[in-house]
Structure 1
């Protein structure tokens, strides 16, 4: 029976690792890549429109040709994504390459601003002003006022428009790269945690504890979303079941230590229904609570630390 439980734990870990991979590639990166493809097509359409007035201008034509070549590299996606043959479902999109592709696209969009006609530049100026006015950052309102102070066809307006768009693109790229970095950290922690779960489960045999802890870790963000109607981050969703399983295992061990008669912090009911008897209802419920609440584990760990670090009672005076 114990061997069957360990095989079941290994199967659960493998299945969840597959879910983590699908989440990373299909649910996190794939929508961003679809948005990237849409922006590339929009950028190509703008380049095609600008190619008409540039028919007699060799410099503009050369700039548009170089820009189209760069967009071709992005649209092919050879450096961003690989796909199964004859399949339209994206199976691998590294987040680091996706962030680099967005930087290239933003650079191409700024190059298009240099080639716009006066009427299009006036529209771009007005759109950029609206974006700045809608921003909550300090100083963006002043930038919007500076854009409105210059005529759309003036060199000052063009230079300021390019500088402001570069600033906005830099903010967007930095925020996306920070988000991707956090997602990569969460995915790495999830994969490492699965390895730790498998190792602890094979050595100690606390399969029931881990499964109930993972269940509590899964229920925590679900209930949070239902109560607050807010979306949790991908990192929390991916890490919650793994962290819940690990917290449940460590939590039961802490409960057993604090219920020891030599410490007597917890009642005797936890002495026989914790680490030594993980299949007892009290132990399973405790594991579920530890998986659901990370603060419960941290508070209990602080209590255990205080008990260990407390100085021994002085001997009674004779």
Structure 2
């Protein structure tokens, strides 16, 4: 079995999984957010068109339209030497790095629309925003509502509406920033983890089945939770689980060997003969699957190994 799993196979598996990671990042994480942004942009431009048409001050309308066009402007698509537009795959249309600044620009464009709202409609325009802010930050909503009622001129009222709108949008912006940061960290860890998996598979051919079974165990962990009706894990966890499972399988077999050594003798000779030095036995492969499935099992053994080493040093 181990003779079949030579260099091309682990390389191919790691390359295929890295491709899956990239497709997941762009297709299942970035693309849905991009579609929402596109819909919001279309709605914002439609509102802008109506407000500009009904605005009595064309100078203000021109300035606002220019500002929003600048905020929502997209870089021109790449072209061929002959000047034709290149067709880009959907896979490269939505990198994670552009989603947060594009969301900020979209929110700023929405806030800018208040400059075109007629003065006699500012109260009606502001009320839904105050209600949204009241659900997020009641104290700020109360303070700003009082300032809005006491404002003497339209410019101050519009400024306060923009402030309220910004506070309403801040929570979703912060949540998006945190989510995207977690996804970037997960992608980095997945890439580095795959490099470790590939290196280990080359250096220890006998442990290639253990790596594979650990990855399968890592894949099964979130799958079992979903089948049991538990809340689905985040995309970051889903991406990392198989990679982490492969690495914890190898680490777990090493820990079993440590804790079953004659000088430590915590787990006994049975596991010593079915761990690191004999990774292709049925028991060792079962352990690899379990370690990949349960990170908690690996953590408990690591704590036990640490306590043994600390005790021996004392």
The answer to whether the 8 A contact 1:118-1:153 is kept is: no
Unaligned runs of 5+ residues in structure 2 are: 79-84
Indicate the RMSD between aligned Cα atoms, in angstroms: 2.7
Specify the SS of the correspondent of 1:262.
Answer: coil
CA positional deviation for 1:143: 4.9
| Between 114-123 and 231-240, the greater mean CA deviation after superposition | 114-123
The answer to whether the 8 A contact 1:251-1:297 is kept is: yes
Aligned ranges 1:1-318 → 2 under 5 Å:
2-6=2-6, 7-54=8-55, 56-71=57-72, 73-74=73-74, 85-86=86-87, 89-118=90-119, 121-135=122-136, 137=137, 139-140=139-140, 142-143=142-143, 146=146, 149=149, 156-205=156-205, 206-311=207-312
1 or 2 for the larger relative contact order (CA 8 Å, sep ≥6)? 2
Residues 257, 56 of structure 1: alpha-carbon distance in 2 compared, 3 angstrom cutoff: closer
The answer to whether the 8 A contact 2:144-2:160 is kept is: no
Specify the SS of the correspondent of 1:139.
Answer: helix
The answer to whether the 8 A contact 1:150-1:156 is kept is: no
CA positional deviation for 1:134: 3.1
TM-score relative to the length of structure 2? 0.87
The answer to whether the 8 A contact 1:186-1:235 is kept is: yes
- Take 2:192 and 2:279, find their aligned partners in 1: how far apart are those partners? 24
- Take 1:212 and 1:117, find their aligned partners in 2: how far apart are those partners? 66
Specify the SS of the correspondent of 2:275.
Answer: coil
- Take 1:202 and 1:109, find their aligned partners in 2: how far apart are those partners? 54
TM-score relative to the length of structure 1? 0.86
- Take 2:68 and 2:157, find their aligned partners in 1: how far apart are those partners? 23
The answer to whether the 8 A contact 1:133-1:144 is kept is: no
Unaligned runs of 5+ residues in structure 1 are: 314-318
CA positional deviation for 1:265: 0.3
